[in-house]
Amino acid sequence: MISVKAAKDLISENITRLAPVVINLEQASGYVLAADIYARFDIPAFRQSSMDGYALKFADCEKELQLIGEMAAGTSTNLTINAGETSRIFTGAPLPDGADTVVMQEKITRTGDKITLQDTNLKSGSNVRGIGSEIAAGALAMEKGDLLSPAAIGFLAGIGITEVSVFPLPQIALIVTGKELQKPGEALAFGQVYESNSYSLAAALKTEGIADLTVYEADDDLNILQNVLQTALDKHDLVLLTGGVSVGDYDFVIEAAKRCGVKQVFHKVKQKPGKPLYFGTYNQKLVFGLPGNPSSVLSCYYNYVLPAIKVLSLKSNPVTEVQAVLSHRYNKPAGLTHFLKGKYENGKVSPLGAQESYRLSSFAQSNCLICLNETQENFEAGETVTVLILPQ
């Protein structure tokens, strides 16, 4: 049995980032760029008015000006203004040749086609967006590793980009094992339990933008499990299994993985919940055997699976580690790291009830996991402990 830290280190050492893919910009929200992007054009591509008003030569701003025409946004015809002339102009329109400044329409007096300015703050170039003032052709627009936020998607669209190279999100398979599992909504026969692990994991993955999860079901039978696992390994980047990793006569995950050629990296971690956690690799694919108890599944997901997914896709881990003051004393035996469901608020954390690994009732109310280290037995109220804040 290895420590939590050793397990995390071994997972890190065995992850290879997924190869970049090129996708349409419309599909790229939330991905991380796999290559730098350079601007192909000057943006704006022309001198552009930022106000509705009048375009003029700044040198003429104290003269009465003759109105000679109009420039509207999207116009394809140009105008030239000479000394003593002005043109009507609207926000987003190109400046006419010869103009260098725009005065807002609220700051002029107009009599027929004659304009006089009342804008003491006007400067040469006022209300004009210069060519390339957003970005110049050839300049670095965004860098490899940048997250494609909604603003980034809009920025790239605005500079004419249609496709981006990104680190893909992994294609994930989940195999739920167990003869006792029944679908919620169906009647429970004697000995059956409702299958909930695929629900919690699908929900957790959806929070990370991963909606494409394939769920397989496997009975407690070695041959069936081996076949399902082989299919999942062939089709997916990451395979999660729940249940069947312990020592019972019907726990076949370890053997099925071995038969499929998965290289075992570790089995069993000094932790509660989730002690029988299994991790292996198959070529560059990752296999996590999550202990079947619903609370163990989620605790292992936040501690190991989610950080691994983030490394695969070069994203930052949304599980943040903070130090917090423990509200109550808590005792545990030495030997295992405990991850307690807790409630964190303003630097203080309280362990919740229902800590047993088969229970999710308090996990459903929690916003964090309190990490109580392996060797320590007694934790006093007021003591500082490490807390993992969970993405909600």
Query: Can residue 285 be called a binding residue for ligand LQZAQKY5 (CB under 6 A)?
Result: no
Q: Nearest approach, Cβ of 290 to ligand MOO (angstroms)?
A: 9
Task: Give residue 236's identity as a one-letter amino acid code.
Answer: H
Among 243, 289, 291, 351, binds ligand MOO (CB under 6 A): 291
Contacting ligand LQZAQKY5 within 187-246 (CB under 6 A) = 193, 195-197, 242-246
Query: Can residue 292 be called a binding residue for ligand LQZAQKY5 (CB under 6 A)?
Result: yes
Q: Which is nearer to ligand LQZAQKY5, 204 or 312 (CB)?
A: 204
Query: Can residue 174 be called a binding residue for ligand LQZAQKY5 (CB under 6 A)?
Result: no
Q: Nearest approach, Cβ of 202 to ligand MOO (angstroms)?
A: 20
Query: Can residue 342 be called a binding residue for ligand LQZAQKY5 (CB under 6 A)?
Result: no
Total chain residues near ligand MOO (CB under 6 A):
8
Query: Can residue 180 be called a binding residue for ligand LQZAQKY5 (CB under 6 A)?
Result: yes
Number of other CB atoms surrounding residue 273 within 10 Å = 25
Q: Do the bridges between strand 384-389 and strand 263-267 make them parallel or antiparallel, or are there none, so unpaired? A: unpaired
Contacting ligand MOO within 310-369 (CB under 6 A) = 357
Q: Which is nearer to ligand LQZAQKY5, 86 or 355 (CB)?
A: 355
Query: Can residue 307 be called a binding residue for ligand MOO (CB under 6 A)?
Result: no
Query: Can residue 178 be called a binding residue for ligand MOO (CB under 6 A)?
Result: no
Q: Which is nearer to ligand LQZAQKY5, 70 or 219 (CB)?
A: 219
Among 20, 274, 280, 351, binds ligand MOO (CB under 6 A): 274
Q: Nearest approach, Cβ of 246 to ligand MOO (angstroms)?
A: 8
Q: Nearest approach, Cβ of 228 to ligand MOO (angstroms)?
A: 23
- Which residues lie near ligand MOO (CB under 6 A)? 272-275, 291, 293, 296, 357
- Which residues lie near ligand LQZAQKY5 (CB under 6 A)? 176, 178, 180-181, 193, 195-197, 242-248, 251, 273, 275-276, 291-294, 296, 357-358
